[in-house]
């Protein structure tokens, strides 16, 4: 079909945005077709002089969608595709049919759902990979570009708004500072000494905090490349479970858990169990609702520095820095496998259970995890990859999608790393970290924020992608050791401090006029 010349400029003209006029018109025309505005699409073609698809491509596309396979096959030559692509298109058309012995099997294999169904559009999507997009526009291309633009803005300026608020196409997504938690709405007092760890459950319904409730303990920052150690052991370590669904975070249980300082705690995937590890060389398993001890694991010969669950909830890993050992356990108390050698101070497992990340001095080691024929997991220690930091690493935190980690390093910075590419994504500074183990965390919608405690008694909040410092939150009177963002609220997180308290941070109450 021939079209008249447009009076609104040449199709090859570059717009102020740098895009070709013809390309923009083609996208708009395609969108009008997909929205069902066929007459408007035809009028745009007539007025602009630009067709959405070149004539051979338009005929090929129509033949596919109408099931005219002979015509579609004959038109492939007119597309002027390179020979490999042309052969691949023909193969996709015919391969399914050649393997079928009946019409019924053909329909089942191809997922055919009738002439008006989606199977022909699915075939068109497959063929798209082998036909240049300049010829055959990808389906719904304009909508895809809009989604990508909104997604990019959301990632780089994450709005702290309720999840049910849809992004607008009429204004840019903007970062709202008034949506950042900035007030300590609660001060939880239940520990008798320094609180070293705090962790929300996966549902956000409960909060666990762990301390060194005793005396004569000292956390020390190690020399460059050395492991993290405690100079002396404490007499007791306590866990407090808090009811996060209660507006006042009522205390659910106070557990005198260990005879040594507790390094960290970890919730099971279903939140029914809690693991703790301590300087008394043990790992303990707790029934979360009641706080009673379900099991004690005693294989380690030195202080246990980290513990982490596997996604199945049937196995977990623990590490001992001084003992130079990582152990894979089942819940029956069986040590299934040991990884000897590195001084591992912290652990994380990817959400799909395929990778273990272990911190050792200035190095992050990535160890594959596999499962045997009986489903028992195994560390593939012969296939470990690693990357190095600029200084000793005190802790790591993994993002919800397991694609990034945060590393607190001795140079008084927090670094974000791409796990797969093993490259640094960002750096966050301003806080103080010299002698103590400080734990950071991702927070906000889409993990768009980075939080960290600090030895200057404040909590620091950065924009994850720009690295900009957004908030310094005073309130604690001693070093802040750990932070945890609530999975149940975009405006709530907890911090744990050497001042013996846990603080719950949120938005200030609405002003009353």
Quick one: pLDDT at residue 14? Answer: 87
DSSP assignment letter at 149: H
**Alpha carbon separation from 287 to 190, 267, 442 (Å, rounded):** 20, 10, 27
The first and second tokens of residue 5, run together, are 């010349």
| Alpha carbon distance, N-terminus to C-terminus of the chain | 67
Quick one: pLDDT at residue 84? Answer: 59
Quick one: pLDDT at residue 160? Answer: 55
Quick one: pLDDT at residue 228? Answer: 37
Quick one: pLDDT at residue 147? Answer: 83
Quick one: pLDDT at residue 408? Answer: 96
Q: Which domains does the chain have, with CATH numbers?
A: 186-216+232-506 (2.130.10.10)
- pTM summary value: 0.72
Alpha-carbon distance 83 to 61, whole Å?
19
483 near 451, Cβ under 8 Å? yes
What would the pLDDT profile of 453-466 be if each residue is shown by its tens digit?
A: 999 999 999 999 88
Sites in the chain below the pLDDT cut of 50 = 1, 3, 96, 99, 161-164, 214-235, 512-513
Alpha-carbon distance 503 to 31, whole Å?
51
What would the pLDDT profile of 7-42 be if each residue is shown by its tens digit?
A: 566 777 888 888 889 999 999 999 998 899 999 999
Quick one: pLDDT at residue 434? Answer: 83
Strands (E), 419-500: 423-429, 440-443, 449-452, 459-463, 469-473, 480-485, 493-497
Alpha-carbon distance 287 to 239, whole Å?
12
Q: Which helix (H) or strand (E) holds 21?
A: helix 21-34
Quick one: pLDDT at residue 229? Answer: 37
What is the separation of C-alpha 304 from the centre of its chain, rounded to a whole number of angstroms?
27
The first and second tokens of residue 97, run together, are 């049919």
Quick one: pLDDT at residue 144? Answer: 87
Alpha-carbon distance 434 to 411, whole Å?
8
HSE-up (13 A, CA, CB side) for residue 175: 20
DSSP assignment letter at 337: E
Alpha-carbon distance 131 to 134, whole Å?
8
Q: Which residue from 351, 195, 208, 323 is spatially nearest to 276, judged by alpha carbons?
A: 208
Alpha-carbon distance 307 to 351, whole Å?
15
Alpha-carbon distance 408 to 222, whole Å?
13
Pairing of strands 292-297, 306-309: unpaired
Alpha-carbon distance 240 to 407, whole Å?
26
445 near 158, Cβ under 8 Å? yes
What is the separation of C-alpha 275 from the centre of its chain, rounded to a whole number of angstroms?
23
Quick one: pLDDT at residue 226? Answer: 40
Quick one: pLDDT at residue 224? Answer: 39
CA angle 435, 274, 352 (to 5 degrees): 90
């Amino acid at each position: 079909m021939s079209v008249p010349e447009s009076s609104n400029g040449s199709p090859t003209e570059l717009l102020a945005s740098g895009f070709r006029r013809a390309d923009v018109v083609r996208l708009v025309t395609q969108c009008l077709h997909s929205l069902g505005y066929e007459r408007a699409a035809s009028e745009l073609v007539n007025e602009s002089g630009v067709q959405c698809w070149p004539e051979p491509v338009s005929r090929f596309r129509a033949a596919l969608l109408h099931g005219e396979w002979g015509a579609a096959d004959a038109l492939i030559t007119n597309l002027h595709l390179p020979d490999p692509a042309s052969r691949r298109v023909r193969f996709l058309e015919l391969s399914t049919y050649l393997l079928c012995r009946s019409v019924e099997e053909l329909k089942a294999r191809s997922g055919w759902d009738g002439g008006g169904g989606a199977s022909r559009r699915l075939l068109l999507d497959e063929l798209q990979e082998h036909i240049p997009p300049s010829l055959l526009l990808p389906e719904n291309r304009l909508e895809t570009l809009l989604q990508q633009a909104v997604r990019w803005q959301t990632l780089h300026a994450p709005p702290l708004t309720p999840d049910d608020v849809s992004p607008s196409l009429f204004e840019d997504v903007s970062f709202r500072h008034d949506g950042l938690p900035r007030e300590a709405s609660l001060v939880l007092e239940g520990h008798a000494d320094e609180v070293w760890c705090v962790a929300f459950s996966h549902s956000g319904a409960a909060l666990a905090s762990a301390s060194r409730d005793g005396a004569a303990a000292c956390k020390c920052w190690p020399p460059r490349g050395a492991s993290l150690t405690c100079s002396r052991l404490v007499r007791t370590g306590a866990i407090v479970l808090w009811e996060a669904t209660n507006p006042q975070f009522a205390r659910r249980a106070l557990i005198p858990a260990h005879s040594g300082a507790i390094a960290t705690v970890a919730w099971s995937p279903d939140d029914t169990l809690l693991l703790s590890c301590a300087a008394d060389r043990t790992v303990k398993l707790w029934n979360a609702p009641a706080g009673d001890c379900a099991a004690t694991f005693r294989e380690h010969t030195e202080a246990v520095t980290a513990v982490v669950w596997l996604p199945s909830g049937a196995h977990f890993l623990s590490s001992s820095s001084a003992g130079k050992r990582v152990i894979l356990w089942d819940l029956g108390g069986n040590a299934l496998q040991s990884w000897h050698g590195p001084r591992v101070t912290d652990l994380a497992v990817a959400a799909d259970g395929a990778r273990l990340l272990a911190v050792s001095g200035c190095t992050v080691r990535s160890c594959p995890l596999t499962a045997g024929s009986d489903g028992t997991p195994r560390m593939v220690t012969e296939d470990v990859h690693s990357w190095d930091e600029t200084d000793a690493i005190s802790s790591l935190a993994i993002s919800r999608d397991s694609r990034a980690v945060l590393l607190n390093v001795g140079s008084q910075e927090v670094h974000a790393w791409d796990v797969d590419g093993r490259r640094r994504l960002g750096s966050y500074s301003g806080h103080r970290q010299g002698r103590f183990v400080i734990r950071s965390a991702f927070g906000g919608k889409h993990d768009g924020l980075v939080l960290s405690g600090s030895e200057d008694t404040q909590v620091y909040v950065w924009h994850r992608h720009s690295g900009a410092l957004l908030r310094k939150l005073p309130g604690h009177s001693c070093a802040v050791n750990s932070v945890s963002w609530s999975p149940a609220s975009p405006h709530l997180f907890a911090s744990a401090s050497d001042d013996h308290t846990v603080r719950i941070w949120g938005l200030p109450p609405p002003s009353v006029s």
